């Protein structure tokens, strides 16, 4: 800890994360996210402990998921707390893993109002004045207050997510939307980001959002009251992207969508 990245309490020299799946529900009344984070990990050397970065999270439990689906409860130690870097979430494995071993850990958790990554806006703070709004900002070390992780740019992860939000709100992430399904009064939106990124680039927004298509790969999102103005402002987005590709390299991220936040964004 602190040897590879002075801003992370994770045991970065012993384990690394390749993929994270978030399965969370947005509760606007309580102003929290609730759910699980599943981390696909690999041992860099023999160890019997995984230490994740966490900040102002309520940890409800953790499990080791074996290849056959067997779930084993892990010991949880949150006694080490740093005033800046948060809590070192120590998870004890039932037996030591060897270098190269891959394993999956699922942590059940809930965010709190003290976390720095998530901001909830009241309806009065939006253009439409009718629906609440949520956005995240994980830079520089706030991803750990959105989900437990190895919150260091030395670790690059792919990620996927299932996000349940109340109707009629829409969820967007820094990932490709892969589908949605209705579940009573809620809608679950699914996402996948196959290109590995540091944890601080994981982003989520939930609100009364609409899309204006600019091209087959470009779009702008905003509240419907502002959509026409935003579409006009960014009408040349595809041309700009093509110019950048001519100068540098082909765009590999699939889509280039822009989000215009409410004016109360700080």
pLDDT beyond 70 at 1: no
Q: What is the DSSP string of the chain?
A: --SS-TT--S-TTTEEEEEEEEEEEEETTTTEEEEEEEEEEEESS-EEEEEEEESSEEEEEEEEE-TTS-EEEPEEEEEEEETTTEEEEEEEEEEEEPTT-EEEEEEEEEE-TT-SSEEEE-GGGSSSSSS-EEEE--TTTTGGGTS-B--STTS-EEEEEEEEEETT-EEEESSEEEEEEEETTEEEEEEEEEEEE-GGG--EEEES-EEEE-SSSEEEEE-GGGHHHHHHHTTTHHHHHHHHHHHS----SS-EEEE---TT--
pLDDT for the residue numbered 209: 98
User: Which residues contact residue 53 at a Cβ distance below 8 angstroms, ignoring those fewer than 6 apart?
Assistant: 8, 9, 10, 85, 86, 87, 88, 89, 141, 143, 144, 148, 149, 150, 151, 152
Separation CA 130–CA 141 (nearest Å): 32
* pLDDT bucket at 69, cuts 50 / 70 / 90: confident
Summarised one tens digit per residue, pLDDT across range 140-189 is 999 999 999 999 999 999 999 999 999 999 999 999 999 999 999 999 99
Q: What is the mean pLDDT of residues 81-101?
A: 97
pLDDT for the residue numbered 264: 86
Query: Of 210, 262, 214, whose CA–CA distance to 234 is shortest?
Result: 214
Which of 16-25, 66-75, 230-239 is the least confident region? 66-75
Q: Would you put residue 81 in left (φ > 0), alpha (ψ -120 to 50) or beta?
A: beta
How many C-beta atoms lie closer than 10 Å to residue 24's C-beta? Answer: 23
* Averaged pLDDT of the chain: 96
pLDDT beyond 60 at 8: yes
* pLDDT bucket at 18, cuts 50 / 70 / 90: very high
Summarised one tens digit per residue, pLDDT across range 33-55 is 999 999 999 999 999 999 999 99
pLDDT for the residue numbered 2: 59
pLDDT for the residue numbered 265: 78
Q: What is the mean pLDDT of residues 230-239?
A: 98
pLDDT for the residue numbered 4: 87
- Provide, rounded to the nearest whole percent, the portion of the chain with pLDDT above 90: 95
Q: What is the pTM of this model?
A: 0.96
Prior bond to 168 cis, omega within 30?
yes
Summarised one tens digit per residue, pLDDT across range 71-84 is 999 999 999 999 99
- Provide, rounded to the nearest whole percent, the portion of the chain with pLDDT above 70: 99
pLDDT beyond 80 at 266: no
């Amino acid at each position: 800890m602190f040897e590879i990245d002075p801003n992370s309490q994770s045991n970065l020299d012993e384990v690394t994360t390749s993929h994270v799946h978030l399965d969370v529900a947005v509760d606007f009344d309580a102003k929290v996210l609730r759910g699980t984070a599943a981390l696909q990990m690999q041992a860099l050397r023999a160890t019997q402990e995984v230490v994740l970065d966490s900040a102002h999270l309520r940890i409800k439990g953790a499990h080791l998921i074996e290849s056959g689906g067997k779930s084993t409860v892990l010991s949880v130690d949150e006694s080490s707390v740093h005033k800046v870097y948060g809590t070192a979430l120590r998870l004890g494995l039932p037996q030591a893993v060897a270098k190269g071993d891959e394993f999956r850990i699922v942590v059940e958790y809930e965010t709190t109002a003290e976390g720095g990554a998530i901001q909830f806006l009241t309806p009065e703070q939006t253009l439409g004045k009718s629906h609440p709004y949520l956005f995240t900002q994980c830079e520089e070390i706030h991803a750990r207050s959105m989900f437990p992780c190895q919150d260091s740019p030395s670790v690059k992860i792919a990620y996927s997510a299932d996000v349940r939000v109340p109707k009629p709100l829409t969820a967007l992430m820094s990932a490709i939307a892969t589908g949605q399904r209705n579940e009573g009064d809620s809608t679950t939106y699914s996402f996948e980001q196959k290109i590995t990124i540091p944890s601080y680039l994981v982003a989520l927004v939930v609100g009364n959002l609409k899309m204006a298509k600019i091209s087959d790969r470009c779009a702008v999102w905003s509240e419907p009251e502002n959509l026409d103005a935003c579409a006009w402002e960014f009408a040349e987005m595809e041309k700009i992207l093509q110019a950048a590709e001519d100068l540098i390299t082909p765009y590999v991220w699939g889509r280039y969508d822009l989000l215009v936040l409410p004016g109360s964004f700080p």
